[in-house]
Amino acid sequence: MSNAQNKVIAITGASSGIGEASAKLLAQNGAKVVLGARRTQRLEKLAAAIRAQGGIAEYKALDVTDREDMKAFIHFAKDQLGRIDVVFNNAGVMPLSPMNALKVEEWDNMINVNIHGVLNGIAAGLPIMAAQGGGQFINTASIGAHVVVPAGAVYCATKYAVWAISEGLRQESQNIRVTTISPGVVKTELGSDITEESAKDALQEFRKISLTPDAIARAVLYAVSQPDDVDVNEVIVRPTASAF
C-alpha cells in the first residue's frame, strides 16, 4: 500500500462515517489528510486523534454546496501541505421518501449536496491537478447508482449522476485518475435526516445487514494505493448476505 505514502488527500464529509474511517486509515498508511465538513468540533477531535498516532491532519469548515467555500477548502489543503494528490468527494445526504410525499425541499438538498457538491470538488481540484500533471478524484456514489428502490428515486438519481460525472471525467482525463466508490448498506449517520416514517422504517430493516465504514475505507485505500498508471474506475462494496 506504499503509494498512499505522503499523498495529500482532501476529504469532504469527514466528520463521521465513511469520511472519518477513510481519514484514519489513509493517515495510518502515511497519507496527509485534510478534513472538511460543517461540524468543526468533530473535525478537530478527529485531527487530534490522527496526530496523536503520528499522522498528519489539517481541517477546515466546509459547505460542499457553496462553490467558493469548496474552492477555499481545496486551496487551504494545497497551501498547508504543498499539493493536492486526491480529492475525495464523499459528502452526501439521503432523506428518503416516496415521490408522492412531495418532499421537494429534501429533493433540492440531495441535488445540492450529492451532485453540486461533487461538481464543486471537481471544479476546485481539476486546475490544480492539471498544473501538477496528475492527481485523483474519488467520488462516493452508492449501490443506489445501480439499483433504484421505492422511496429512493431522487437519491438514486443523484448517485446515478455521480457515476455519470465520474465516468465522463475519466474518459476526458489522460493523467488524472477517477474512482467511483459504490457502497452497499453501511451503518452510518446517512439517512438520519429522513422525515417520512415509512422510509425510516424501511432503512432500519435494510440495515439489519450492513457493513461498517471501515469496509469502505479499505476500498478507498486500495484505489489510492495503486501505481499512478493504474486507475481503479469503480469499486462496489456490499455485505455478502445482502441482495442489494
Is the full-model pTM beyond 0.85? yes
Number of domains in the chain: 1
Q: Is residue 241 part of a domain?
A: no
Q: What is the pLDDT of residue 206?
A: 67
Residue 49 belongs to a domain with what CATH number?
A: 3.40.50.720
Within-domain flag for 146:
yes
Q: How far is CA 55 from the centre of its chain?
A: 21
CA atoms 33, 185, 141, 99: torsion sign: negative
* Residues 194, 150: Cα–Cα separation, whole Å: 14
Q: How far apart are CA 232 and CA 238, in angstroms?
A: 17
Determine the pLDDT at residue 156.
Answer: 97
- The pLDDT averaged over each successive group of 10 residues in the chain (244 residues) is 88 97 98 97 97 98 98 98 98 94 96 98 98 97 94 96 98 97 87 74 74 96 96 96 82
Cell 482525463 -> residue = 173
* Domain presence at residue 240: no
- What range does the domain containing 209 cover? 2-235
pLDDT at 190: 74
27 within some domain: yes
Which residue's C-alpha cell is 449522476? 161
Identify whether 79 is part of a domain.
Answer: yes
Active-site annotation holder among 59, 155, 160, 222: 155
CA distance 7 to 48: 19
Domain contains 156: yes
- Any domain includes 243: no
Could you tell me if residue 242 is inside a domain? no
State residue 238's pLDDT score: 94
CA atoms lying within 13 Å on the CB side of residue 226 = 15
For residues 196 and 101, is the Cβ–Cβ distance under 8 A?
yes
The answer to whether residue 222 is catalytic is no
Q: What is the pLDDT of residue 242?
A: 83
